[in-house]
């Protein structure tokens, strides 16, 4: 067997978290912005971050406070490795955008580090380390970003399970990232008050419809179900222009639209790439009518997985 | 084409509603007790109930106040029929048992009446009439009993959709009906207070796991997910012995167990008929330790649909 390399670079794609009906456990990647991690094996038995480049730089360099660092600390512990890792991050996903920026660094680092092992571990094991990484760094234990990034496509991701969900072919996603900051603490606070049973029932029905639509390759069921009755009504008011952007997507024949992750990015699903490409301009226009510039991407819903790129 | 008969009898099976993770929209039939409806075409342009026999008799004879009568009133209206129906019910499913007793009469009546039409209508149309029947008689618009009864097996049933869900082969259900009355008003009242987000998230994850387990034929996912975090904690205290009965099922290797419909019946799923048959005695014993006698049935989870029997 060839000796593993001493350095590897991996990329992890941006992700649409929650997907309207799967708060905290459903997500899918998109082909668009990505984070890259270059990992070097070092003789010192520790994990250190040498450099963070790219569009986001104000991230802690202390390894344990960074999702990438914390994930590799978890990997070293789990495998009882004698050597350590040096991490260089190249951030392509804006932080606090609702596109899984911190998860992507974590997953890219794990996938690159895995390429440096004599015996690479399974994606399931990397998933557990990514979970540890996220919880070490942020206290959250949500798989809806790390799961899709590690496995690709649309994924149900719980602490114990990662379940790939088949996506009807041709389904495409528009993701629009408005140039505005959503105060995370406020985005969490609005979720605290409890939820009415009628809304919970409607949300669970919608989840059943969307999942059934995917498993049965029936876009009409997805259209019937892709509406968030729980989280969106509370968070939408925090995103100026959200209702207009969503309306623009639905007017352009979206199957559904909603907030990506904790926002402020907005996603919409379409049954074809051409529909999605037509809708992008309308959705961005709706933000700009509210004085907000934005970036946007069109991707298959069945987006890529993280992978070694060098 | 042969002229349709002037009288037909149909049966509709008992049903496990909610199935722990699909409150108000998920259900499956069982092979066990059933209601029968004998329907006669009558020249009068109305619906009347001539007789109610069987184990439950204190049911309104006024057609509009009875689910079977209300459903046939809806069918007559929808099809603009010139003739009427006379209904005779033979009740085999105890009322207020959580086994779908009122829905079964409604569905049996519709299936029998459909056999009397020159042009029988689709199950989807019967479903809408059954919905109308239930809502006319009870105010509720839940499909989790009528959907499975009309289509058979495990079904996602919303006001707009009936989606059959594939059930892994060999899956069997135990249904235990304790001889006690659950005050329906109280069973509803305990659901009123709102729900915490953490419980809602756990419930939606569990729904995703159970549905994925069914669509992917993976009983381990069903086992991971079949636990009710929303309704059961509030209703279980109303059913003496519930926790012991559930524990007995899980100790006998149930995939999961919970309250059937609004209770007091308790269901459990098993991966084989032999496991289910072993568990029945333990579950009934747990009720009897609480001084409660019970009836019990073992059936495939993929139970039968309502059908014409004569």
Q: pLDDT tier at A260 (50, 70, 90 boundaries)? A: very high
Q: Do A208 and B160 touch (CB under 8 A)?
A: no
CATH number, residue B245 = 3.30.70.890
The two three-digit tokens of residue B283, written as one number: 């579950």
- A222 shares its domain with A287: yes
For residue B160, list chain A residues with Cβ-Cβ distance below 8 A: 224
- A76 shares its domain with A180: no
Cα four-point dihedral sign A138, A144, A147, A149? negative
- A229 shares its domain with A279: yes
* Any domain includes A1: no
The rounded distance, in Å, linking the Cα atoms of A260 and A54 is 22
For residue B221, list chain A residues with Cβ-Cβ distance below 8 A: 161, 163
The two three-digit tokens of residue B16, written as one number: 């496990």
Q: Do A207 and B204 touch (CB under 8 A)?
A: yes
CA torsion angle for A192, A195, A199, A202 (degrees, to 10)?
A: 80
The rounded distance, in Å, linking the Cα atoms of B176 and B103 is 19
Specify whether the CB–CB gap between B290 and B248 falls below 8 A: no
Q: pLDDT tier at A60 (50, 70, 90 boundaries)? A: confident
* Any domain includes A23: yes
CA atoms within 13 A on the CB side of B101: 21
The chain A residue lying nearest B200, using CA atoms, is: A200
Partner residue opposite B194 with nearest CB, options A194, A205, A221: A194
Interface of B with A (CB under 8 A): 21-26, 156, 158, 160-161, 163, 165, 191-197, 200-201, 203-205, 207-209, 211-212, 215-216, 221, 224, 230
Q: pLDDT tier at A137 (50, 70, 90 boundaries)? A: low
DSSP β-ladder status, B84-91 and B47-54: parallel
The rounded distance, in Å, linking the Cα atoms of B48 and A259 is 52
* Any domain includes B2: no
Q: Do B158 and A195 touch (CB under 8 A)?
A: no
Q: Count how many pairs of residues, chain A against chain B, have C-beta atoms within 8 Å.
A: 105
Partner residue opposite A205 with nearest CB, options B25, B195, B215: B25
Q: In tens digits, what is the pLDDT along chain B, a chain of 310 residues? A: 567 889 999 999 999 999 999 999 999 999 999 999 999 999 999 999 999 999 876 777 888 888 899 999 999 999 999 999 999 999 999 888 999 988 999 999 999 999 999 999 999 999 999 988 877 656 667 888 999 999 999 999 998 999 999 999 899 999 999 999 877 778 888 999 999 999 999 999 999 999 999 999 999 999 999 999 999 999 999 999 999 999 999 999 999 999 999 999 999 999 999 999 999 999 999 999 999 999 999 999 999 999 999 8
The DSSP secondary-structure symbol of B122 reads P
Q: pLDDT tier at A177 (50, 70, 90 boundaries)? A: very high
- B92 shares its domain with B137: yes
For residue A153, list chain B residues with Cβ-Cβ distance below 8 A: none
Specify whether the CB–CB gap between A154 and A27 falls below 8 A: yes
The two three-digit tokens of residue A277, written as one number: 């490409």
The rounded distance, in Å, linking the Cα atoms of A180 and B14 is 55
- B229 shares its domain with B143: no
The rounded distance, in Å, linking the Cα atoms of B186 and B176 is 21
The two three-digit tokens of residue B149, written as one number: 């009864």
Partner residue opposite A24 with nearest CB, options B191, B196, B201: B201
The rounded distance, in Å, linking the Cα atoms of A138 and A286 is 33
* Any domain includes B175: yes
In sequence order, the β-bridge partners of residue B88 are B38, B51
- A202 shares its domain with A123: no
Distances from the Cα of B1 to the Cαs of A15, A119, B116, B287, in angstroms?
Answer: 59, 72, 13, 54
- B39 shares its domain with B98: yes
The two three-digit tokens of residue B210, written as one number: 């159970």
Distance from CA of B166 to the nearest CA of A (A): 10
Partner residue opposite B25 with nearest CB, options A163, A208, A230: A208
Scan for tokens 């603490």, then name that residue: A185
Specify whether the CB–CB gap between B41 and B72 falls below 8 A: no
* Any domain includes A2: no
Burial class (CB in 10 A: 0-12, 13-18, 19+), A154: buried
Q: Do A194 and B191 touch (CB under 8 A)?
A: no
Backbone phi, psi, residue A162, to 5°: -125, 115
Average pLDDT over residues A119-143: 84
- A159 shares its domain with A172: no
CATH number, residue B116 = 3.30.230.10
- B201 shares its domain with B143: no
Partner residue opposite B205 with nearest CB, options A158, A196, A201: A158
Q: Do B163 and A23 touch (CB under 8 A)?
A: no
Q: Do B224 and A161 touch (CB under 8 A)?
A: yes
* Any domain includes B11: yes
DSSP β-ladder status, A47-54 and A84-91: parallel
Q: For the whole model, what pTM was predicted? A: 0.95
* Any domain includes B242: yes
* Any domain includes A255: yes
Chain A interface, mutation test: which of B155, B189, B194, B200, most A Cβ atoms within 10 Å? B200
Number of domains comprising chain B: 2
- A30 shares its domain with A157: yes
Average pLDDT over residues A165-184: 92
Q: Which of B32, B233, B273 is nearest to B149 (CA)?
A: B32
Q: Do B163 and A224 touch (CB under 8 A)?
A: no
Q: Do A208 and B212 touch (CB under 8 A)?
A: no
Q: Give the range of the structural domain holding residue B174, as residue numbers without chain letter.
A: 167-300
- A102 shares its domain with A48: yes
Partner residue opposite A163 with nearest CB, options B165, B212, B230: B212
The rounded distance, in Å, linking the Cα atoms of B137 and A29 is 47
- B118 shares its domain with B202: no
């Amino acid at each position: 067997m060839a000796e593993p390399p001493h350095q590897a670079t991996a990329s992890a794609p941006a992700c649409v978290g929650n997907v309207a009906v799967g708060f905290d456990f459903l997500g899918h990647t998109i082909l668009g912005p990505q984070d890259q991690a270059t990992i070097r094996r070092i003789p010192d038995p520790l994990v250190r971050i040498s450099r963070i480049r790219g569009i986001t730089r104000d991230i802690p360099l202390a390894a344990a406070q960074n999702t990438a660092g914390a994930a590799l600390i978890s990997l070293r512990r789990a495998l009882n490795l004698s050597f350590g890792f040096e991490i260089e991050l190249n951030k392509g996903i804006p932080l606090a955008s609702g596109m899984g920026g911190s998860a992507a660094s974590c997953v890219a680092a794990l996938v690159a580090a895995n390429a440096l092992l004599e015996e690479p571990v399974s994606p399931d094991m990397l998933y557990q380390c990514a979970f540890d990484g996220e919880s070490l760094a942020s206290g959250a234990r949500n798989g809806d970003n790390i799961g899709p990034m590690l496995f690709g496509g649309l994924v149900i991701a719980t602490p114990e399970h990662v379940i790939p969900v088949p996506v009807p072919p041709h389904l495409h996603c528009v993701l629009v990232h408005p140039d505005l900051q959503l105060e995370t603490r406020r985005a969490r606070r609005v979720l605290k008050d409890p939820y009415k049973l009628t809304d919970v029932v409607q949300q669970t029905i919608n989840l059943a419809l969307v999942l059934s639509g995917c498993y049965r390759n029936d876009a009409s069921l997805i259209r019937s179900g892709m509406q968030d009755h729980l989280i969106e009504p509370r968070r939408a008011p925090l995103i100026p222009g959200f209702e207009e952007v969503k309306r623009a997507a639905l007017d352009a024949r979206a199957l559904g639209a909603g907030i990506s992750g904790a926002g402020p990015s907005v996603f919409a699903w379409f049954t074809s790439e051409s529909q999605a490409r037509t809708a992008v301009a309308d959705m961005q226009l709706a933000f700009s009518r509210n004085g907000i510039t934005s970036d946007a991407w069109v991707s298959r819903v069945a987006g890529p997985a993280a992978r070694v790129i060098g």
